Structure formats: C-alpha cells, structure tokens
Amino acid sequence: MDWSIRNQFKSTDEWWIAVSPFKDVIIGAGLAGLTAAIDLAGMGRNVIVLEKAEVIGGHACSKMTNGYIHDIGFHVIIPDAIPLYEMVKTAGIENDLTRFDMKFGFLKNRRAYSFSPDPLSLMKFRLLSVRDKIKLGLLMKGIEGLSEEHYSDMTAEEFVTEKVSEKALRSFFEPLLTRLSGIPLEALSAAFLIAFSKMLVQVKSYELCYPRRGIGKLAEGMASRIEALGAVIKTDSEVKEIVTDGNQVTGVVYRQDEVEKEIEASNVVSTVHFRDLPKIIDLPREYENKLKEIEYTEFTIAYFGVDTKLSDYDMEVMIPREENFCINSFVEVSNIAKEVAPEKKSLLSVLTTPHTIQKRSNDEEILDAITEDLSRLFPELEERINWRKLIRQPFTAITKEYMSLKPEFVTPIKGLYLAGAQMYPLQDMATAVVSGHIVSDIIKERDKEHA
C-alpha cells in the first residue's frame, strides 16, 4: 500500500472513495436510500450514499428548534407494515417507541369526532349515516377484488359518490384523502383510493408507534447499521451528474465543500424527484418527456411551539373543506410523545395543501392565516406561541394522468433505478422502505444473470 497516496486525502472516507471502484451509488439518504444501502452493503457490496442536505432522513428527519423536536410533517409507524417495522428493529429503536391507538378525528362544528378503522368504531362514528356505513363496509369488504387499472380514468370524487354518497365524500373521504395525497378529490385518481383501501384492510392490529424523540431516530439508527456494514454516507454532497457511457451508468459527479468529485458506479439508485432527474442525466427523449409531464403538489407544514397544552387530542384531526378552514389537519404531537416539547409546553403540527391556502404564497401570510384559523379552535393561542415555522414539501400528484405516466423501478438506462416514497401508490414511509428493498433485489438478480 502506497501511504503517500493516502496522505493526499483529508479523511479515510475520501481516500477509500478514491481508491475503491464503488459499484453502488445511492442518491438520497431518506428511508428508501438507507434501506437499499442496508440491503446492498449486507450483500458485501461497495456502497456509498450521497445526501445533499446536512442531515439524513429526507422527509423522515427531525430537527431541533428552541428545545422542541419536530419532523417534516407528522409520521407514524404501523407495526403491521412489516417491512417498515423490520427497519425499526434494524435501527435498534424498538424500545424507544411510544404506542397509541390508530384513530383519526374529523371536525364538525369545531368538535372532533373520533374514528378508527375497526368495525365497531365505524358503527359508532356519528358523521356517517347508517346507510353510508353499510355501503362503506361493503366497499371495504370487496376492495381486494377491484382493479386499480379499471378505475384509472375515474377521479376519487366520482368513485366515492358512486360507491358511497356525496355526503360521505364531503365529511369523511375528502379531508382524509387530501391529507394523504395533497390534492383535492376532483383531481385525485380513484386508483389511489383503491390502493390505500387495500392497504388498510390488511391491517390487523389497530396500533401506531412513534419514536419518543422524533422520527429522525429511525433514520439515525439505520445509518448506524449502514456504517457498521462498511458502507459510507456523505452529507452535504449534492449530485451534479450521473455519468453514462452510451446506455450504461459509469459514475457520479457530486459537489462537496465547493469541490466537484467523481466516483465510479455500475449501479445508481436515485430517490430524487422525477422532475429533477433530467437535470443530472441524459435520458431517452420519450422517457424524459413523460417525467416532465408528471405534476407535483406541495404540502405546507406549519409547526408551532406553544407555552401550554392546547387540547387532549391524542390523534390527528382532519378538517373537511366545508368547515371553511385553510387547515387540512392538525395534531398536538406532544400529546403523543411528551419528549418532543419542553416540560409543560406543547408542539403543534399543522398541514395545509395548495387549494386550502388558495393564493397565499408568502410564508408569513400563510402562517398568519393558519394562526387565525387555529385561534378559532384554541382561543388566546397567539399569546401562547413561542415560535412558528413553515416547511414546504413537494409531492407527486397522483392524478388520473399520472397513472399513465408513473415510472417503474427500472429505467431505460442500464444501472439506473428509481426508489423513494414517490413510487406509487402511497407517498409514505412504508412505500419508501419497500421501494428500497425492491431495487436492491433487482440489482441482486441482475448481477446473478451477468455472473
């Protein structure tokens, strides 16, 4: 070993990257990228994860503000979502979870009515008529037999109105599905609703989990596992180009510390937004045009650090559009996990979507509108706010048109794979983890074919 070469580099990581021909480069240290890294490194492969942000986790990271721990939106873990829960075990945080019942609140005349997906709760739920409850129960019973492709040209609004009723659409489906998708039901594909319902009926245990000090603990535990397997994670490393030779991936150029570096790669797993992919790699014209046609929506997530507890709600409360709030949902996170807020204080997470905030574009205007609406629910709120923060997050809009545009995990470029929560059907942590597993399995099988 020529140690004079080693001494030219600032760290062991930089030296190893320079002398080792990395085979698998993962773009993005969200749950999908971290899952793929665990799988691939566990096979004894050379793996590097490049993350442009200062922290890992992507949408599943946690940050500290004035002693409060907040995520990028409120995320929960369903133990029945087995691939996701297996990652909880891999991360070593199973004993660091607070557990609570799966339920949602639906606001009607400023009162929250609790709903859980179990049959008994459905029968007691006051915002649905007996007839609608029967129709909903029959729909869920037969949901596995419905083809998503068959309903791909129908909107969720049309589907619910046909299968249940317009009243159920407004009071129940509209706030819930908008919370999940970020777009109104008149634009949302019915296939999304069917896919979500199929996932829901598979749930046997009506329990949810949440790391006591934020969802970022899951990503941190996964990162520790990756490093224990000998792989490398580099933050503040923005990918500028995926290098190809003909139709084959050969390397990645990334920028760190204002210096561009290039590493070899035979496989690249990308978790960047579909619309941004053409900016870093030359793609076949038809494929690139399809990616550019995919629409995006934006969740605006507001966090409030508050002096005192606001409510006894230990659930996320959905707000139907007919209630005339700019808020889609809110949850007092500190009622679920006390550790996210200083003692005797409260952390509130609020979600809005483009059609609920209408034409407001300035962050302060949006925060003012949210604060005004919250004050209708919690009088004197403004006097109790320590700080407030707005976070904007783009998401793929699952419209009718998206169903014909959505890309697969394998791309036309050899060695380039797509993963992330953006992969159909649900943009959540479970989808992210599953996508990471799928891509790593594809890479493993393709390597066997070429061995």
User: What would the mean pLDDT of 363-381 be, rounded to a whole number?
Assistant: 94
State the pLDDT at residue 18.
52
Answer whether residue 12 shows pLDDT above 70: no
Residue 162 pLDDT > 80: yes
The conformation of residue 76, written as its DSSP 8-state character, comes to -
Average pLDDT, the chain: 91
pLDDT mean over 421-442:
94
Is beta strand 416-418 parallel, antiparallel or unpaired with respect to 267-270?
Answer: parallel
Return the DSSP state at 236.
S
Q: Is residue 20 over pLDDT 60?
A: no
Question: In this predicted structure, which of 190-204, 244-258, 371-385 has the lowest mean pLDDT?
Answer: 190-204
The b/e string for 125-135 (b: 16+ C-beta within 10 A; e otherwise) is: bebbeeebbeb
What was the pLDDT predicted at 8?
42
Return the pLDDT at 301.
96
Calculated CA dihedral for residues 257, 261, 266, 272, nearest 10 degrees: 40
CB of 24 closer than 8 Å to CB of 47: yes
**pLDDT at residue 6, rounded to an integer:** 36
Three-class HEC string of 274-332:
HHHHHHCCCCCHHHHHHHHHCCEEEEEEEEEEECCCCCCCCCEEECCHHHCCCCCEEEE
User: What does each C-alpha distance from 78 to 173, 211, 367, 414, 426 come to in angstroms?
Assistant: 21, 12, 31, 35, 14
Residue with structure tokens 């550790």?
339
> Residue 213 CB: number of other CB atoms within 10 A?
17
CA atoms of 321 and 175, how far apart (whole Å): 7
Q: Kindly list the structural domains of the chain, giving each domain's residue range(s) and its CATH number in brackets, ordered by start.
A: 3-59+216-293+400-450 (3.50.50.60), 118-201 (no CATH), 296-396 (3.90.660.20)
What does the alpha-carbon distance between residue 19 and residue 14 come to, in Å, rounded to a whole number? 9
The model's pLDDT over 394-429, given as tens digits with 9 standing for 90+, comes to: 999 999 899 899 999 999 999 999 999 999 888 899
Express each pLDDT in 342-356 by its tens digit.
999 999 999 998 878
The whole-number pLDDT of residue 2 equals 36
Element (H, E) at 63: strand 62-65
| Vertex 107 angle, CA 103 and 110, to 5° | 135
| pLDDT above 60: residue 5 | no
